Amino acid sequence: MEKRLIKKETLAGIVGELAGKMRVCAPMKAEDQVLFRVLEAGEKPLVDFANAKNAPKNFFFPRTETLLKFTRTGKGMVRAGEPEEGEKTLLFGVRPCDARSFTLLDMLFDQEKYKDPYYIDKRAKTTIVAIACVHPPYTTCFCTSVGGNPTDSAGVDLLLTDLGNAYLAEFLTPKGEELLAAFGGSPSNAQAEKAKEGIAAKAAAEITSHIPAHEIKPILDTHFEDPFWNTLHQKCLACGTCTYLCPTCHCFDISDEVKRNDGIRIRNWDSCMFPMFTKETSGHNPRSSQKERWRQRVMHKFRYYPDNFNAIACVGCGRCVMACPVNLDIRKIVTDIAKI
């Protein structure tokens, strides 16, 4: 693996220059928020930021995505043309928790049987440049409880760690190595790599929010019916914000839109928090109240995903904790389940 040292003041310019040559998505200031968006040529991304409000899963699994197109004929609507394929993209400024979420989404969308070509195409064409959390940005961060780490390289092609005077750039994969020329820098050295080790240990120690995420699996296995679920959901407004901001939530709806003689079949993010999500044509709804929907959300992340993929479907980014309008805190929920 190639390692380089990159002068701190040059980083934003390097990425800005790349934005003139390829599609670059990066965290940018948008009013009082930081959001991932596509950069204009020469536009410099943020390099000092906490984390983006939105999870970057949008770039592989867009909020709205055309699956296929169709057109009217005398015998009915027929398929007409393919949606555009994804283009080569640099996704810059991803935090390690969000980069890990891509490896979790891969498990679902890139299974042996039934591969999702839309996701896989965009994922294959995207290079992930992550910036390690030298100082984990929020008190709500809990990545270390769910298998992550503030300087983790899972899902990352090029990992940048701020050493104070320079970034240590670790070109982890062949895709990452394609960026060697563009990022330049000087050869790394033992001193820098030792400094990184110290920074990594310190960063992990700075995460003070710990939850028993792994410990609750056997409890969930045997407590599908438990009084615990009767009250958990009571203040939930069913707004779905938690699922829309979640880097690992992947549920979607498929619907058709027609204008005159042409139409598209699209998929949109959907949410297990919504009553219509499981409501059948007959009127029957197997998850008939918010109680069942909350149970599904917790079970899916901490029991079913581990059952199916041997991984917890949570990266500890804390977005759901920060954004919930009624302060439903997944950390408290998991902690409470451990006490059942």
Partner 1 sequence: MQNPYIPAPVEVVKIVTEVDTKDIKTFRFAFQNKEDEAAFQYLPGQFAELSIFGKGESPIGIASSPTQPGYVEFTVQKAGVVTSALHEMEVGAVMGIRGPLGNSWPIDFLAGKNIVIVGGGFAFTTLRSLINYMIDDRNRSRFGKITVIYGARNPGLLIYKDELAAWAKRDDINLNVTVDKGDADWKGREGFVPTVCREVAPSSENAVTVICGPPVMIRFTLPVFFELGFSKENIITSLEMRMKCGIGKCGRCNVGEKYVCKDGPVFSLAELDKLTKEY
The yes or no reply on residue 258 touching partner 1 (CB under 8 A) is yes
Tell the smallest beta-carbon distance from residue 100 to partner 1 (Å).
20
Length of the chain: 340
Distance of CA 153 to the CA centre of its chain: 14
Here's the x/- map for partner 1, 207-226, by CB under 8 A: it reads as: -----------------x--
Instruction: Please give the Cα distance from 206 to 88 (Å, whole number).
Output: 36
Which part of the chain contacts partner 1 (CB under 8 A), choosing from 3-11, 86-94, 229-237, 260-268? 260-268
Closest by CA position to 299, among listed 189, 193, 210, 216: 216
Smallest distance, partner 1 to C-beta of residue 298, A: 13
Measure CA of the first residue to CA of the last residue in the chain; give whole Å: 46
According to CB under 8 A, which one of 31, 222, 280, 327 is a site residue for partner 1? 280
Nearer Cβ to partner 1 (113/339): 113
Closer CB to partner 1, 33 or 73, in the complex? 73
CA dist 219 → 158, 222, 223, 272, 296 (Å): 38, 5, 6, 22, 15
Our finding on whether 252 is near partner 1 (CB under 8 A) is yes
Complex with partner 1: residue 75 or 339, whichever CB lies closer: 75
Which CB sits closer to partner 1, 88 or 115? 115
34-38: list long-range contacts, CB under 8 Å, 24+ apart.
36/91, 36/93
Question: Rounded to an integer, what distance in angstroms lies between the CA atom of residue 81 and that of residue 192?
Answer: 52
Q: Which is nearer to partner 1, 59 or 119 (CB)?
A: 119
316, 143 Cβ separation under 8 angstroms: yes
Q: From the CB of 25, what's the least distance to partner 1, in Å?
A: 23
Nearer to partner 1 among residue 154 and residue 249 (C-beta):
249
Q: Does 115 bind partner 1 (CB under 8 A)?
A: yes
Q: Which is nearer to partner 1, 137 or 306 (CB)?
A: 306
CA–CA distance, 315 with 101 (Å, rounded to integer): 6
The pairing of beta strand 158-162 with beta strand 166-171: antiparallel
**Nearest-10 crossing angle of helices 117-124, 96-109:** 140
Q: By CB under 8 A, is residue 64 in contact with partner 1? A: no
Pairing of strands 166-171, 186-187: unpaired
Told to check if 137 binds partner 1 by CB under 8 A, we report: no
* By the rule CB under 8 A, 286 interacts with partner 1: yes
Binding-residue pattern over the window 69 to 108 for partner 1, x denoting contact by CB under 8 A: -x-xx-xxxxx----------------------------x
3-state secondary structure of 128: strand
Which residue among 279, 291, 323, 335 contacts partner 1 (CB under 8 A)? 279
Q: How many helices (H) and strands (E) does the chain have?
A: 13, 12
Of 18-26, 127-135, 175-183, 266-274, the window that binds partner 1 (rule: CB under 8 A) is: 266-274
Any contact of residue 29 with partner 1 (CB under 8 A)? no
In angstroms and rounded to an integer, the radius of gyration of the C-alpha atoms of the chain is 22
Contacting positions for partner 1 (CB under 8 A): 67-68, 70, 72-73, 75-79, 108-109, 111, 114-118, 120, 224, 250-256, 258, 263, 265, 267, 270, 272, 277-282, 286-287, 292, 296, 299-300, 303-304, 307-308
